[in-house]
Amino acid sequence: MRFSLVATDGNARAGILDTAHGSFPTPVFMPVGTYGAVKTVTPDELEAAGSTIILSNTYHLYLRPGSDVIQRAGGLHSFMGWNGPILTDSGGFQIMSLSELARVTEEGVDFRSHLNGDRHSITPELAVLIQEQLGTDIAMCLDEVIDPLSDRETVARAVERTSRWARRCLLARKRERMALFGIVQGGTFTDLRVESSRGLVEMGFDGYAVGGLALGESREDTWEAVTAAAAVLPEGQPRYLMGMGTPEDLLKGIELGMDMFDCVMPTRNARNGTLFTSEGKLSVKVSALKEDTGSPDPACSCYTCTHFSRAYLRHLYTTGEMLGFRLCTIHNLSYYHQLVSGARKAILAGSFADFREEVGKGWRAGEAFDSQDSHR
């Protein structure tokens, strides 16, 4: 993997990231395909919407169908029919969020499957092996994910363990074509975020992620934590802000120097009948759209907005037609990709602040985006 920084505008960055399965420009938004599929859309539709890299989940694919099954099928790219880059997270967040019976030890995480209660253990070494079996392009270290509002002593212990696990992940990696990112932890304590970042940088990863945020802390605390980490992370390597979020979150993260983003918000909201548009949120469920023949978002050039009306999307949603979920998903993903693409062009032109202000005017004219449920 190689990252080339092309331009900066303040702290905002535009770059190119080369991987074993192709290159893509940054900033970039990665749709979430937890089980090896982005819900309701095909790989062709993802590509048409502007997707250049997708995210899948180590924990879920390990449990089913099994990383060994995927390896025998030729790897995740072949298995799911996606030819572009894939990033897989390590599963640490899912292990902790889905199982009340998870137990963290120095060796790793012991947990019961949320599917059938079977016992499993994932160590840093196994997390790397699973991702190597999947054939991912960018793998994440196993980290200890905790409530960001935990007390300082608890957060400090998690930072130290995450650092030890990160070193073990580095030693376990055998597949050189797979990039490996360390994950910065530290809750809302900025000094612990700095400590975590410095420790990972000293180890020498291919890139760095900032994790453990958007889990209940205030937005002010979120951005202070991101700022603290970004000040330490190397300029010449990619920075990934995990699990966020709204369109405002993306632009704020870009402003603070982040390059890569993922979140379930565009796809989950699409299935719930909510579109992200240049004028804020649009609910296709409301009766006021029954005879509205206008485009869902006149400023959007996606397939949905250039072929169908608000009234039609409302009709599909109220009748439970699957096509409605697909069309809303295509729009939301297209909107996110167009947003980060516009941000990149503005960075290259040295006008990112103006771009952000102009986009924000449109959002302020409509219904505000909800920052809740921003994590994957």
The backbone torsions φ and ψ at residue 18, rounded to the nearest 5 degrees and listed phi first, read -100, 130
Residue 212 DSSP one-character state: S
DSSP state of 203: H
Active site residues: 89, 262
How far is it, in rounded angstroms, from Cα 201 to Cα 234?
8
Is 83 in contact with 75 (CB distance < 8 Å)?
A: no
CB atoms within 10 A of CB 218: 11
φ/ψ (deg, to 5) at 339? -65, -50
Rounded to whole angstroms, the Cα distance separating 12 from 229 reads 15
Q: Give buried/exposed letters for 102-130 (b at 16+ CB in 10 A, else e).
A: bebeeebbbbbbbeeeeebebbbbbbbbb
Helices marked H in the chain: 43-49, 58-63, 67-72, 76-80, 92-98, 124-134, 152-172, 190-203, 219-230, 247-255, 265-271, 303-307, 310-319, 322-349, 352-365
For 108-177, give the DSSP string: -EEEE-TTT--EEEE-HHHHHHHHHHHT-SEEE-------TTS-HHHHHHHHHHHHHHHHHHHHH---TT
CA distance 182 to 91: 14
CB contact at 8 A, 130 and 75: no
For residue 58 the two structure tokens come to 């180590």
Reference 305, options 276, 285, 280; nearest CA is 276
Separation between Cα atoms, residue 262 and residue 34, nearest integer Å:
11
Q: Taken in order 73, 132, 37, 341, is the CA torsion positive or negative?
A: negative
* Structure-token match 């330490």, residue found: 232
Looking at residue 49, the DSSP 8-state letter turns out to be: H
